[in-house]
Amino acid sequence: MRLLALSGSLRARSSNGAVLRSALALWDGPTALADIGALPHFNPDLDGEDATPPAPVAALRTAVAAADALLLVSPEYAHGVPGVLKNALDWLVSSGECVNKPVAVVTASPFPTGGDHANAQLRETLRMMTGEVVTAACREIPAIGPKIDPATARVADEETLAELGVAMAHLAAAAATSLTP
């Protein structure tokens, strides 16, 4: 089964990027990372049935349609979802590729809250889009800093890795169920 990941951080040394790479390594199947940093700002004028979507938007929609499950990994900015990730989701609202798509939302933060506001907001947006939010596969990871090995840019903390493994197993199970006729 194919997993597509979207990151809410564009930062080169992103802690959420490290979480994302670690989670993808635990997925049994092909994986890909969506290039949402290349998307233009969402504009409904470019989103209608008669509109030709910009190339990065078309590429995102194709990648989401081809995925059996989605993994969103994101920081929280100002108690909210980073604009780059909300922008990507806005491009997917009317086109429908997220409908019934199993999705896991993982947020990581240097603070004890684990990005709980952004996590809740992402789940709410995905539910509104009628994606299948797999609650058992969602995680809020607190105090992420020391849990990452800067040499590998991956999660080194055993407990967090185990949690990510459980989360990916739940996401894979949901994807397998949704493929069953």
Ligand X SMILES: Cc1cc2nc3c(=O)[nH]c(=O)nc-3n(C[C@H](O)[C@H](O)[C@H](O)COP(=O)(O)O)c2cc1C
Residue with smaller CB distance to ligand X, 20 or 57: 20
- Residue 16 touching ligand X (CB under 6 A): yes
- Residue 110 touching ligand X (CB under 6 A): yes
- Spell 118-147 as b/e; 16+ CB within 10 A means b: bbbbbbebbeebebbbbeebbbbbbebeeb
- Residue 11 touching ligand X (CB under 6 A): yes
- Residue 113 touching ligand X (CB under 6 A): yes
Specify the stretch interacting with ligand X by CB under 6 A; choose among 9-17, 57-65, 98-106, 158-166.
Answer: 9-17
Distances (CA, A) of 5 to 26, 45, 147: 13, 27, 21
As a whole number of angstroms, the distance between CA 37 and CA 50 comes to 25
- 45-104 binders of ligand X (CB under 6 A): 75-79
- Residue 109 touching ligand X (CB under 6 A): yes
Place of tokens 């790479």: 21
- Residue 142 touching ligand X (CB under 6 A): no
Contact positions vs ligand X (CB under 6 A): 9, 11, 14-17, 75-79, 109-111, 113, 115
